[in-house]
Structure 1
Amino acid sequence: MTQTDRDTFHVTELYLLAAAFDAEALFGLPDKKIYQLQGEEPWSQAHKRLIQKGIFTEEGKLTKSGAVIIKTLYEYFFSQKYVRINNLMFAFREKQAEEVIILVETYEKTYKLYVMAKPLVLKLLSEKVPLLNREPAEGEKNFLRRELPDEEKAAINELGVTNDIANIELFHPRVKPQIASNPNYYQQWLVLSKDAKLIMIDTTEKHYYHASQYWFMKVLFDALDFPYRQKEGVR
């Protein structure tokens, strides 16, 4: 088993680990019932893989590395907010925490779990989301966002799928009502570039904006609770 295999988890493995704190659901993962309906086999295989990864001993006892993973999963479960940026799901400890928890969905539909310092998160996103590295146009210094006219909205809707699009979703799972039309519970921004313009679409409110790079970064920083200024004494 490679190191990559050890750091990658199937849905059933994560649910087995989450059973340590009686969690029946993990935000962003498929429903646990899908696998429960398949009988004992998926769970026995998941337990075997967790032993191979050193999460449990052969006798079924939790190892130190397993305890660290369960603690991280526990903090992920109790996050008051989740932010999805493309295939990266972010969970949060407290607002002023220096680190975030990241659940990454792979192309194989498995998951990786990380704890990462916020400065490294920004570096990660700059690699994963090319629009973050975009050089703002000269005119963007004079505005934050402007609503697009109807003809430009229509042109945007006709665009095909592009790899450069950024999908930013915000969830507050303990806010009621839990419906997509409640912006306190759910928000989604689609961000793309067209004809050198940065376009941001608020999908819940159906608003289309010509946005400045500054506004894009502000939405991102606010979503991830990134500080705008350095703390005193930090250079």
Structure 2
Amino acid sequence: MLKHLMIEEMVALLSPWVESAQRKRLFLSIPEIAGLHPKVVATHEAVLAVRPSKVGPSGEMIALNDELARVDERHDHLARAVCWGIDAHRAQCLGEDPLDRERAAMCDQVQPRLFPNGLTIVKASPTAEAGNTARVARLLVEEPSIGEFLKGIPARGKTTLLRTTQRWIEAGKELLAIEQRRNELAAKEKTAPVTRATVAAARSQWFRVVSAVLSNLELSDAPIEAIEMIRGPVLKASERAGKRYGAAPAG
């Protein structure tokens, strides 16, 4: 998963696109991504600037990365539980005799309010996931009827889908707190002073630019060998990161 990559991995993955003359020519030869190269260069410089000065991450950083991965996995499972729980409730309403069309219609209204882009949020960065759960928390305050609706949907452990949603929000708060601690530690472990905001911005910039490159490659008619030369190392690193943190596949 791209969002689990560490700064050093981000630097290593962009280096060939920027520093290898052969790989740079290959990148520029693909029309769909050629125009992104200046952004790639700027992003590479950004992650280089916030790279920890040590050869490898400290024990404290590794522990934070592991903690972030565990909380992120919980966040993703809870998001799916809420989204699919509403789906299941809608199906149950439509399976009643007589049909509970009013309740099914409420499902259709509430789900897009909680998940305007479906479950793509579980593929986002921890910072973006935390921002989204903060949005959901505000929504429950501003529109109490949504909370009442979720309270009427049973969930595991004699609770309701409202409690599952609250746990999802809590996981988002944990993600933000851990990400802030990671950024603070990364700044301390670097010789040159780096602000927490700079580290977070560099990670976010890398994620956006590399995701754009991968998305554009999906539309490219370039030879498959050329496409794989560019995206192959990124996808392999993403897969390793997912295995390293035991991340569940996004649904």
TM-score w.r.t. length of structure 2: 0.25
Larger RCO (CA under 8 A, 6+ residues apart): 2
What TM-score do the two structures reach when normalised by structure 1? 0.26
Q: Of Structure 1 and Structure 2, which has the larger fraction of its residues in strand?
A: 1
Going by fraction, where is helix more abundant, 1 or 2?
A: 2
